[in-house]
Amino acid sequence: MGKVLSDAQIRRYREEGFVSPVDVMSEQEASEYLHRFEEAERRFPALAHAHKRNNVHLSFKCLDELAHHRVILDAVEDLIGAHFSLWATVLFCKEPQSPHYVSWHQDATYMGMSDTEFVTPWLALTPSTPTTGCMQMIPGSHQHIILEHEDTYAEDNILTRGQVAKGIDESTAVDLVLKPGQMSLHHAKVVHGSRPNTSAQRRVGFAMQSYMPPQVQQVVGNNLWLDIRGVNDRQNSRRLNRPEYDADPIAAADRDLADANLDDILYRGAAQKRGY
């Protein structure tokens, strides 16, 4: 038994490449976080929108709190050990009845890391279901290599390059249905995607992408990390500051650096650069 995950859940993560659902907080607490996030979004529209969705935890206090939530970190520790840092976060908001989707992909493909043993918790702040466009995963797909991805730049595809992993058998895909306050945790190599939100409700998911042990290094861009737990010495790395309040300028300067670094890494060698 781990700190949060049972032996069966840990086994499932190792075998299937994800575990879901995991309770983090009550629906009531999740709706309070959603309210705080949407308030901050209204107050500081330039800091969080469809094309400014990376690293919002360095701007909004509520997301910084979520990235340091004890239950999330304990579950991460159950999977990758007691020493880890946070690389980045992504807010995946799908507006009601919108065409946006996420094609089948493996996160590690363009992240520029030295290793693929890292984990992404995805926390639902609203219901994540087949009609709101929940994530779907292919069990066991993390046990293979990084597949060839084709960059399509398809208009409604909200991945940076609209990249699509080739040769996927969708017939085994499973829906990750989450209530507000529940999370899934997925491996860097598991193949996953999500369909459009056809409902009348917004779907808000916060992906902490990803928590990584110190042996995982950024090898394409700069090593900019938020220290989370244990000892995380990486050569030539710079530690990011946490915001003390919404739009804190000290953390905002770090977010500018981290966002630019992430852009350089994710779009390295790409034929087009989009706003994601």
Residue 122 in contact with ligand AKG, rule: CB under 6 A? yes
Q: How many CB atoms lie within 10 A of CB 244?
A: 10
Shortest CB 120 distance to ligand AKG, Å: 5
What is d(CA 152, CA 157) in angstroms, rounded to the nearest whole number?
9
Q: Which two tokens stand for residue 212?
A: 């990584």
The tokens describing 56, both together, are 């919002």
What part of residues 173-232 is at the interface with ligand AKG (CB under 6 A)? 192, 194, 205, 207, 209
Per CB under 6 A, the list member of 18, 60, 84, 92 interacting with ligand AKG is: 92
CB of residue 217 vs ligand AKG: minimum separation in angstroms? 20
Residues with Cβ within 8 Å of 76's Cβ and at least 6 positions away in sequence, in order, are 84, 119, 121, 185, 211
What is the tally of helices (H) and strands (E) in the chain?
Answer: 5, 15
Q: Given the complex with ligand AKG, which of 98 and 241 has the nearer CB atom? A: 98
Pairing state between β 84-86 and 192-194: unpaired
- Applying CB under 6 A, the site for ligand AKG has a residue count of 11
Pick 59 or 106: Cβ nearer ligand AKG: 106
- Cis amide bond preceding 210, omega within 30: yes
Query: From residue 47 to residue 66, what is the string marking binding to ligand AKG with x (rule CB under 6 A)?
Result: --------------------
In whole angstroms, how close is the CB of 34 to ligand AKG at the nearest point?
A: 15
Tell me which residues touch ligand AKG (CB under 6 A): 92, 102, 107, 120, 122, 135, 192, 194, 205, 207, 209
